[in-house]
Amino acid sequence: MENMFRLIDHDQEAATNRCIWVNGPVIVGAGPSGLATAACLREQNVPFVVLERADCIASLWQKRTYDRLKLHLPKQFCQLPKMPFPESFPEYPTKRQFIDYLESYASRFGISPKFNECVQTARFDETSGLWRVKTVSGAESTRTEVEYICRWLVVATGENAERVMPEIEGLSEFTGEVIHACDYKSGEKFAGKKVLVVGCGNSGMEVSLDLANHLAKPSMVVRSSVHVMPREIMGKSTFELAMKMLKWFPLWLVDKILLVLCWFVLGNIERYGLKRPEMGPMELKSAKGKTPVLDIGALEKIRSGNIDVVPGVKRFNGNRVELVNGEQLDVDSVVLATGYRSNVPYWLQESEFFAKNGFPKTAIGNSGWKGRTGLYAVGFTRRGLSGASMDAVNIAQDIGSVWKLETKQPTKRSTGSLRRCISQQF
């Protein structure tokens, strides 16, 4: 193994070659999870290569989020390892501030992803004991295919890699505009229009609020039960309050306390068509990974009638929509706040660690970051940025311990090292 870990000079033309050996792990994804893992590996003096299909870091935040977005949790729960947010940032940083933070983070730790490299397949070669990661980059006329060979593979594409497009009868024939929430930027262009927002999670609630603030007429589809909680209770973050109580009380008791506090602050929300699940908010998050909605003003718009809550959609017919209760609405536009899903099943050829839904089979809770044969997952435990940071620290320590043992000596160099494969036969 000693020759395998021998560090070599970076070949500037290696990216155009078909086969590249990577000293250290390949990290797929340059979002917060991938950046956090890279930074922690840098601290362990382990070289790495980060592959990113987009042309920038954190493409979800930069290209697929609405303008008014802010972090839903206080910044101390969203910072990545080794670097806190600037003190000048507000408690809930804006989208632009978070992107600036991530760019500074990448710069500080010398993280330079290989952009526009879309992973097509990744499989473990049982014969060589190595991972083979195939990517394509460039336009059709300049299409480049590269295969990266590595011992460790870190999946950092996250929970929200691909939009979920629902199958609703007649939607494809709807005569108005239909967009996914990832393409929604502002409600300004919808002023005066009747907009159907399909989905009542944090995105659906906030899009509906933004539409109402821009004098549109949103109707929000609520098909199932949902926990709506105030973002703050008595000036304190609801999430922070819950975390503190969990240190002293069992989960079921924390849920009961939270629901009582929510009732005092928000009142009975079921009168507005928002039915709460039987399972408490923290238990539901722990058991199924379903995040409560943190209200930042949408509920007041619902009370005032500026946001209409409607049941599920049965079918579309022209510019009309029929609801499951038989009611029909005239609609100008539709925003699908129907969430995202993992894209791991489309490219990772492995079924022992990852399930068919693209999540590790033990993804919920404190496990789910380490598989067999050098495979790791970061940001899939449904615990937000703080969970991804914990995964990143664990992964870097795990790989770092092996790296230091097998290289026999520490090294200050941690730039991802590439070279042309001497042989195609692995």
Span 141-191, pLDDT tens digits = 678 889 999 999 999 998 888 888 988 999 988 988 999 999 999 999 999
Burial degree of 119 (CB within 10 A; 0-12, 13-18, 19+): buried
> What is the model's pLDDT at position 345?
92
Contacts of 63 (CB under 8 A, 6+ apart): 54, 56
Whose CA is closest to 200, among 274, 272, 271, 269?
274
Only one residue has tokens 């097998």, namely 406
d(C-alpha 108, C-alpha 99), whole Å: 14
Judging by beta carbons within 10 Å of its beta carbon (0-12, 13-18, 19+), is residue 396 exposed, middle or buried? buried
Radius of gyration of the chain (CA): 23
**pLDDT tens, 222-277?**
988 889 999 988 888 888 888 889 889 998 999 999 999 999 999 899 888 899 98
- pLDDT (tens digit per residue) in 331-388: 999 999 998 889 999 999 988 888 888 888 875 445 678 988 999 999 988 888 998 9
Residue 413 above 50 pLDDT? Answer: no
Q: How confident is the model at residue 284 (pLDDT cuts 50, 70, 90)?
A: confident
- Higher per-residue confidence, 6 vs 31: 31
Torsion over CA: 29, 35, 37, 38 (sign): positive
